[in-house]
Amino acid sequence: MRDKAFDICRTFLSGQWDNISSDDLIINKISIGLSNQLYICSLPDTHKPIGDEPRDALLRLYGQTIDGDDYKVTDSLITMLLSERRLG
């Protein structure tokens, strides 16, 4: 799990995220759903974010679905709207 989260964070985030090792990444499980897992990934205190890059990133890993991929789009839109309104 750690290596998968690390690879995803390094792929989509840059700056200090490129300067840490997998062992340095801080990962906390937020919740477990029936098919999804939610984690918060953070830079260690020894690495300050550069510019506007985030110190923390929310990572959702999708599991098996029974409804197809439609719910992923809806779920992503809801997550984006909550984020824009600083509600989640």
For residue 56, give the 3-state DSSP assignment.
strand
Q: For the chain, which domains are there? A: 2-84 (3.30.200.20)
Which pLDDT score, from 0 to 100, does residue 36 have?
A: 77
Per-residue confidence of the chain (88 residues) as pLDDT tens digits? 889 999 999 999 989 999 999 999 999 998 766 667 889 999 999 999 998 889 999 898 877 655 566 667 777 777 777 777 776 5
Strand partners, 29: 39
Given CA atoms 21, 7, 60, 86 in this order, what sign does their dihedral have? positive
C-beta separation of 54 from 13 below 8 A: yes
Q: How far is CA 84 from CA 37, 43, 66, in A?
A: 22, 22, 29
Give me the pLDDT at residue 67, please: 59
